[in-house]
Amino acid sequence: MTIKEEVETRLAEVIKARYPENPIFPQIEPEKNPAYGDLSSNIAFGLAKILNNPPQVLAAEIAEAISGGIIEKAEAVRGFVNIWVSQERLCALLPEIEENKDNFCRSNFGEGKKVLLEFVSANPTGPLHIGHGRGAVYGDVLGNILSASGFLVEREYYVNDTGNQIETLGKSVKCRYLELYGERLEFPENGYNGEYIAEIAKKIRDEEGEGAKEKDIAYFGRLASEILLCQIQKTLSDSSVNFSSFFYESSLYERGEVERLLSDLSAFAYKKDGALWLATNKFSDEKDRVLVREDNRPTYYVADLAYHRNKFGRGYERLINLWGTDHHGYVERIKSGLKFLGCDPERLNIILYQLVTLKRGKELVSMSTRKGEFITLDDVLREVGKDATRFFLLMRKSDAHLEFDLELAKKESSENPVYYVQYLHARCSSILREAEQRGIPFISADKANLLLLKELEEHRLMAKISLFPEEIKEAAKLYQPHRIPLYLMELAGIFHNYYHHHRILSEDRELSHARLILINCVKAVVKNGLSLLGISAPEKM
RNA sequence: GCGCCUGUAGCUUAGCGGAAGAGCAUCGGACUCCGGAUCCGAAAGCAGGGGUUCAAUUCCCCUCAGGCGCUCCA
């Protein structure tokens, strides 16, 4: 049980004993303002209504009753119950952390439930850009968080390796390829214009010479999408984004799953204007959708439904899709379709993230794949570095627009938040090294006199690290990776302040021992946090 | 036109029913010392208008502003 949970339990006992008629379970919040304690509860406001008593009076009663044990002090202020955790309890946290180290953030919140997390799934028709990067990093970290919280997570990339856009890709590449031999083929209207298309064409010429001239568009499309997928995988691995599987759209056709889907849906489908429609409007969708086009080719929607049915069939408790907000119109379409298939749409959680605006100073940078002129995720990684790129992409909640300013990220590189947090880790490491050099041995927490850690700043620091597991659990519950960077920045602030006001290493050996243990625990928490974020925790900088 | 998301300090943004928080930029300070990639301080904010509530930045409605989507594209 975490400290916060212990306090919550104690508060609940007190409330139950004093006010048995109260149905509300008391909530406790971490307190940001040190003047208001470590934790606070607004329970008195809820009780006031039921008991017809002023909040301040009730808060005072509760504060009085709750004090003692792990609660050092409780104050009633304007109806709030402000709580200070006892020094003994906070100090007892340190051996716990020392023992668990890398597992301090772990919980069994997920109870081993199987989750499938699908993300990125960018079409293999061009390199990844910063928008894909956001989805990639968000998904990767969400996966880490859910795993740490006791879910069994699989991470999947759905590859759209068939259909119109691959055909367009094939045409574009073949066109550029033939141009290398001075031949002309009409460039497709919506063709891909990027420099990378010409490079793929050259690659094909270098490897196959004129032999590819006779090959059809599909051949070029397949080849190009394979090459591009490889490049995407390289970019993902350079970003430390991990997947457990790549699922190919084409495999749905090969196994006959698309055909089977169509026959299973036939009872709900109807012909109109030469096409086959599904009556999704019957459910939450705003209108019906085409399954099979007039020319007999199935739509992307059909394959996507087949894919989702496939996912439902694989025995996951929960499916999570991470989509760019430009796909939000697609949510109800999929959910409605799933109802026809007897799949419960409630088990499918679709998280939408807002798009990223890439800027260089005040200048907007274009990100259109079709037009060709754009900065790729590779470019950003090269320019800003993996750690900073990931940190910036993770700092914002998913439904906020994200502005990524390359100039800022570079210019401020010595003072930006990533380094602030990494510096915390390096500084802790450095202190531990210095202690060793000075011949101050590191002794284990159970042998040290931790009660010497009684400075206000030490109290705040321990209270903050005690909240780390809570933070991870909340992030898992709400799918909010951005809590971690923010938490780490706050922790760094509290630590640097402590460092500046108190000497860790001094003549007082006993005190030095105790403080070194605290430093070691802070270091473990930071490392834990950074590792969830997929960002390195340097010993030196 | 309809739908979804977003308007918090000069800029980038946390908080999302209870007591407005950071970073950058600006200005002013700090350590003969364990890493100055640090610390302390100042100034500055909930787009506007109505509701609901003991309590609204947070929930509901309207207005205004921005983004995205409304394909037999994916």
Closest nucleotide C1' to the C-alpha of A515? B34
Q: How far: A397 CA to B47 C1' (Å)?
A: 21
Q: DSSP letters of A393-437?
A: HHSS-TTS-EEEEHHHHHHTTTTSHHHHHHHHHHHHHHHHHHHHH
CB A500 within 7 Å, strand B = yes
Closest nucleotide C1' to the C-alpha of A43? B18
- For residues A299 and A159, give the distance between their C-alpha atoms in angstroms, rounded to a whole number: 15
- Beta bridge mates, A73: A84
Q: Would you kindly state where each structural domain of chain A is located, as residue ranges?
A: 3-85, 119-254+354-410, 413-532
- For residues A431 and A349, give the distance between their C-alpha atoms in angstroms, rounded to a whole number: 45
R_g of chain A, CA atoms, integer Å: 29
CB A483 within 7 Å, strand B = yes
Helix and strand tally (H, E) in chain A?
20, 15
CB A502 within 7 Å, strand B = yes
How many CA atoms are closer than 13 Å to the CA of A379, on its beta-carbon side?
13
Q: How far: A327 CA to B1 C1' (Å)?
A: 21
Question: Could you give the strand order of the β-sheet that contains A318-324, starting from the edge strand earlier in sequence?
Answer: A245-248, A152-159, A114-118, A318-324, A348-353
- For residues A510 and A501, give the distance between their C-alpha atoms in angstroms, rounded to a whole number: 19
Q: Are A137 and A239 in contact (CB under 8 A)?
A: yes
CB A160 within 7 Å, strand B = yes
**Of residues 36 to 65 in chain A, which lie within 7 A of strand B by their beta carbon?**
36, 40, 42, 45-46, 48-49, 55
- Determine the Cα angle at A224 with ends A220 and A230, to 5°: 155
Which CATH architecture describes the domain A3-85?
2-Layer Sandwich (3.30)
Closest nucleotide C1' to the C-alpha of A162? B74
Q: Are A122 and A232 in contact (CB under 8 A)?
A: yes
The DSSP bridge pattern shows strands A152-159 and A245-248 to be: parallel
Q: Are A28 and A38 in contact (CB under 8 A)?
A: no
What's the pLDDT score for residue A123? 94
- For residues A54 and A45, give the distance between their C-alpha atoms in angstroms, rounded to a whole number: 8
**Of residues 189 to 208 in chain A, which lie within 7 A of strand B by their beta carbon?**
none
Q: How far: A197 CA to B48 C1' (Å)?
A: 50
Q: Find and list the nucleotides of strand B having atoms within 7 Å of a protein beta carbon.
A: 3-7, 12-16, 18-19, 21-25, 33-35, 37-40, 54-55, 66-74
Q: What is the DSSP letter of A329?
A: G
CA distances A35 to A55, A77, A93, A517, Å, are: 20, 11, 22, 26
Q: What is the DSSP letter of A284?
A: T
CB A123 within 7 Å, strand B = yes
Question: Could you give the strand order of the β-sheet that contains A80-85, starting from the edge strand earlier in sequence?
Answer: A28-30, A39-41, A80-85, A71-77
Please list the pLDDT of chain A residue by residue as tens digits (541 residues). 899 999 999 999 999 999 988 888 888 999 988 889 999 999 999 999 888 899 999 999 999 999 999 999 999 999 999 999 999 999 999 999 999 888 899 999 999 999 999 999 999 999 999 999 999 999 999 999 999 999 999 999 999 999 999 999 999 999 999 999 999 888 888 888 888 999 999 999 999 999 999 999 999 999 999 999 999 999 999 999 999 999 999 999 999 999 999 999 999 999 999 999 999 998 888 899 999 999 999 999 999 999 999 999 999 999 999 999 999 989 999 999 999 999 999 999 999 999 898 888 777 776 655 555 578 999 999 999 999 999 999 999 998 889 998 888 877 666 788 999 999 999 999 999 999 999 999 999 989 999 999 999 999 999 999 999 999 999 999 999 999 999 999 999 999 999 999 999 999 999 999 999 999 999 999 999 999 999 999 999 8
Spell out the SS3 assignment of A443-454.
CCHHHCCHHHCC
CB A456 within 7 Å, strand B = no
Q: Are A81 and A66 in contact (CB under 8 A)?
A: yes
Task: Give the SS3 label for residue A369.
Answer: coil
- For residues A449 and A88, give the distance between their C-alpha atoms in angstroms, rounded to a whole number: 11
How many C-beta neighbours within 10 Å does residue A328 have? 11
Closest nucleotide C1' to the C-alpha of A121? B74
Pair of tokens at residue A371: 């037009």
Q: How far: A515 CA to B43 C1' (Å)?
A: 37
CB A503 within 7 Å, strand B = yes
Residue at minimum CA to C1' distance from nucleotide B13? A396
CB A255 within 7 Å, strand B = no
CB A438 within 7 Å, strand B = no
Assigned CATH topology for domain A413-532 = Isoleucyl-tRNA Synthetase; Domain 1 (1.10.730)
**Of residues 208 to 227 in chain A, which lie within 7 A of strand B by their beta carbon?**
none
Q: How far: A405 CA to B12 C1' (Å)?
A: 9
The DSSP bridge pattern shows strands A348-353 and A356-360 to be: unpaired
- Find, among A360, A380, A432, the residue nearest to A136 by Cα: A380
CA distances A510 to A450, A474, A515, A520, Å, are: 9, 37, 9, 16
CB A479 within 7 Å, strand B = no
Q: How far: A468 CA to B58 C1' (Å)?
A: 25
Assigned CATH topology for domain A119-254+354-410 = Rossmann fold (3.40.50)
- For residues A69 and A73, give the distance between their C-alpha atoms in angstroms, rounded to a whole number: 10
Q: How far is CA A397 from the centre of its chain?
A: 9
Question: Could you give the strand order of the β-sheet that contains A356-360, starting from the edge strand earlier in sequence?
Answer: A363-364, A356-360, A402-405
User: pTM (2 decimals)?
Assistant: 0.95
Contacts of A480 (CB under 8 A, 6+ apart): A397, A398, A474
Q: How far: A124 CA to B38 C1' (Å)?
A: 46
CB A420 within 7 Å, strand B = yes
What's the pLDDT score for residue A194? 85
Q: How far is CA A347 from the centre of its chain?
A: 19
CB A280 within 7 Å, strand B = no
CB A293 within 7 Å, strand B = yes
Q: Are A463 and A33 in contact (CB under 8 A)?
A: no
Q: How far: A56 CA to B37 C1' (Å)?
A: 46
